[in-house]
């Protein structure tokens, strides 16, 4: 069920090394999006060659990698080519076919492994894991029910009205608010299940939230674990909008609990790689201790992009170290930071006309770090890039973040 079955076969892949055939040390990634692009940059900075398997010819990661294998993720020929090129392989998104990871793991170290990615792909399995390790982690998930059949739906309607109001979520392929419907009544729930296609779902009780946060954990093949401090996140219509990463972004005791819980969840999985665990901070602290676990992502995460500019080792550095079997440095955050997610809407004015954001004014602000992902087609909801603001003190970072948000046409965001 975890990655540890491969530990004995894992020999560190050192940057700059060559194999017996004279081929350079090469790290591979399934997926060509922006997370893959930032992974490639981190690996190349250390001296590795990189290979990306991604069907899109213009993918952000494929455009900057040494090798771009342009096939579907489950294409046998493409997977064989990736395994031939690479000494270790990872993934940049959780919806890659788990069987593809298992195929690669037959001949190469793969981190994270197919079994744990499979858990993260299915909300039913994911929530069962959170419940199973609640004693070790000290937190559990919100009350929920599984709905896979009409009979289970009827049972919830008859017996679990305590879960309403709630959120009905598809068990698979939901992200950034997709595959989710808020329901307040039994009638809403029945209609929502039909709307979602009658597929396997979980109904999750809506809790009185005061905040959302996430924790990034890095775990090596040898069980070594390091982590970043929790970051507080603000979502708009289900998509991350702002990340607050600085001391005092949430109560210290709660931050410690979140960090300890994320480490415990990674340990219980026998996880290898970078794992992001997302939490809800809830108002009814007496019932939940103020914290419930929401979901996990078996990869670096949007909320951790600030680590590229505010820490001496980023989440992508840890991803490279973990998969290659290198020691994991405990990252140190040297600057308070706020990250603004840049969606396609930033490229359009109030009347819907395409425009270029005023990068000159934005980049004139102190401590701004712009990261665009190489995507040419701006669309509503599409992640085009992010802007991180760092500085010597939290007050100054918040002030610049407010200015940047106004310049980008993002007024009203919770930037402090």
In order along its 416 residues, the chain shows pLDDT tens digits of 444 444 445 799 999 999 888 889 999 999 999 999 999 999 999 999 999 999 999 999 999 999 999 999 999 999 999 999 999 999 998 889 999 999 999 999 999 999 999 999 999 999 999 999 999 999 999 999 999 999 999 999 998 889 999 999 999 976 666 789 999 999 999 999 999 999 999 999 999 999 999 999 999 999 999 999 999 999 998 899 999 999 999 999 999 999 999 999 999 999 999 999 999 999 865 556 789 999 999 999 999 999 999 999 999 999 999 999 999 999 999 999 999 999 999 999 988 899 999 999 999 999 999 999 999 899 988 999 999 999 999 999 999 999 999 999 997 787 87
**Residue 334 marked in a binding site:** no
The pLDDT of residue 178: 75
Between CA 216 and CA 311 the distance in angstroms is 13
**Residue 176 marked in a binding site:** yes
**Residue 177 marked in a binding site:** yes
Q: What is the DSSP string of 105-158?
A: HTTS-BSS-HHHHHHHH-HHHHHHHHHHTHHHHS--BPPEEEE-SHHHHHHHHH
The pLDDT of residue 7: 44
Q: Considering the domain 3-121 in this protein, what is its CATH number?
A: 3.40.50.20
**Residue 212 marked in a binding site:** yes
278 neighbors 262 (Cβ within 8 angstroms): no
**Residue 240 marked in a binding site:** no
Between CA 159 and CA 166 the distance in angstroms is 15
What backbone phi and psi angles, to 5 degrees, belong to 208?
A: -75, 95
**Residue 166 marked in a binding site:** no
What backbone phi and psi angles, to 5 degrees, belong to 136?
A: -75, -40
**Residue 30 marked in a binding site:** no
> How many other C-beta atoms are found inside a 10 Å radius of the C-beta of residue 119?
25
Between CA 267 and CA 330 the distance in angstroms is 17
Cα 231 versus chain centre, distance = 13
**Residue 36 marked in a binding site:** no
**Residue 138 marked in a binding site:** no
Task: Please give the class, per CATH, of domain 143-205.
Answer: alpha beta
Q: Considering the domain 209-407 in this protein, what is its CATH number?
A: 3.30.470.20
Q: How many CA atoms lie within 13 A of 234 on its CB side?
A: 16
Between CA 225 and CA 222 the distance in angstroms is 9
DSSP tag of 23: P
**Residue 154 marked in a binding site:** no
3 neighbors 271 (Cβ within 8 angstroms): yes
Between CA 360 and CA 392 the distance in angstroms is 23
Which residues, in sequence order, are bridge partners of residue 212? Answer: 233, 280
Element holding 213 (H helix, E strand): strand 209-219
415 neighbors 408 (Cβ within 8 angstroms): no
Nearest to 227 by CA among 240, 214, 216: 216
**Residue 129 marked in a binding site:** no
**Residue 385 marked in a binding site:** no
Domain ranges of the chain: 3-121, 143-205, 209-407
**Residue 5 marked in a binding site:** no
Annotate 143-160 with b (16+ C-beta within 10 A) or e (fewer): bbbbbeeeebbeebbeeb
Q: How many CA atoms lie within 13 A of 67 on its CB side?
A: 22
**Residue 386 marked in a binding site:** no
pTM of the model: 0.94
Between CA 93 and CA 101 the distance in angstroms is 12
**Residue 179 marked in a binding site:** yes
**Residue 118 marked in a binding site:** no
**Residue 31 marked in a binding site:** no
Nearest to 414 by CA among 249, 283, 293, 284: 249
Cα 239 versus chain centre, distance = 12
The DSSP bridge pattern shows strands 225-227 and 209-219 to be: antiparallel
Polymer length of the chain: 416
Which residues, in sequence order, are bridge partners of residue 234? Answer: 242
351 neighbors 375 (Cβ within 8 angstroms): no
Nearest to 140 by CA among 19, 318, 314, 264: 264
The pLDDT of residue 244: 98
């Amino acid at each position: 069920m975890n990655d540890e079955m491969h530990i004995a076969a894992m020999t560190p892949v050192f940057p700059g090394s060559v194999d017996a055939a004279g081929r350079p040390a090469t790290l591979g990634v399934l997926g060509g999006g922006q997370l893959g692009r930032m992974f490639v940059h981190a690996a190349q900075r250390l001296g590795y060659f990189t290979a990306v398997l991604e069907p899109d010819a213009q993918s952000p990661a494929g455009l900057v990698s040494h090798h771009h294998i342009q096939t579907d993720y489950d294409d046998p020929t493409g997977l064989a080519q990736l395994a031939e090129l690479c000494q270790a392989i990872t993934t940049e998104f959780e919806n890659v076919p788990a069987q593809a990871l298992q195929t690669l793991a037959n001949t190469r170290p793969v981190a994270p492994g197919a079994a744990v990615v499979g858990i993260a792909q299915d909300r039913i399995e994911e929530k069962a894991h959170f419940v199973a390790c609640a004693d070790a982690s000290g937190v559990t998930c919100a009350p929920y029910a599984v709905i896979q059949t009409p009979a289970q739906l009827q049972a919830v309607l008859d017996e679990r009205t305590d879960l309403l109001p709630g959120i009905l979520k598809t068990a698979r392929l939901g992200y950034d608010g997709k595959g989710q419907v808020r329901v307040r009544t039994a009638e809403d729930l029945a209609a929502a299940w039909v709307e979602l296609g009658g597929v396997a779902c979980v109904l999750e009780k809506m809790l009185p939230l005061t905040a959302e946060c996430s924790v990034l954990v890095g775990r090596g093949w040898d069980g070594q674990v390091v982590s970043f401090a929790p970051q507080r996140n603000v979502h708009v219509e289900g998509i991350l909008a702002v990340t607050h990463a600085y001391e005092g972004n949430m109560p210290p005791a709660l931050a410690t609990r979140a960090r300890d819980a994320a480490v415990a969840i990674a340990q219980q999985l026998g996880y290898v790689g970078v794992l992001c665990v997302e939490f809800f901070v809830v108002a009814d602290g007496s019932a939940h201790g103020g914290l419930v676990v929401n979901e996990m992502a078996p990869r670096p995460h949007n909320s951790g992009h600030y680590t590229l500019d505010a820490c001496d080792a980023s989440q992508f550095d840890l991803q490279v170290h973990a998969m290659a079997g290198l020691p994991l440095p405990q990252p140190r955050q040297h600057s308070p930071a706020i990250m603004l997610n840049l969606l396609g809407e930033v490229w359009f004015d109030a009347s819907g006309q395409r425009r270029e954001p005023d990068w000159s004014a934005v980049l004139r602000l102190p401590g701004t770090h712009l990261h665009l992902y190489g995507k040419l087609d701006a669309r509503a909801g599409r992640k085009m890039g992010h802007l991180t603001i760092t500085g010597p003190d939290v007050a100054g970072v918040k002030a610049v973040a407010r200015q940047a948000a106004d310049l980008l046409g993002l007024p009203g965001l919770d930037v402090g």
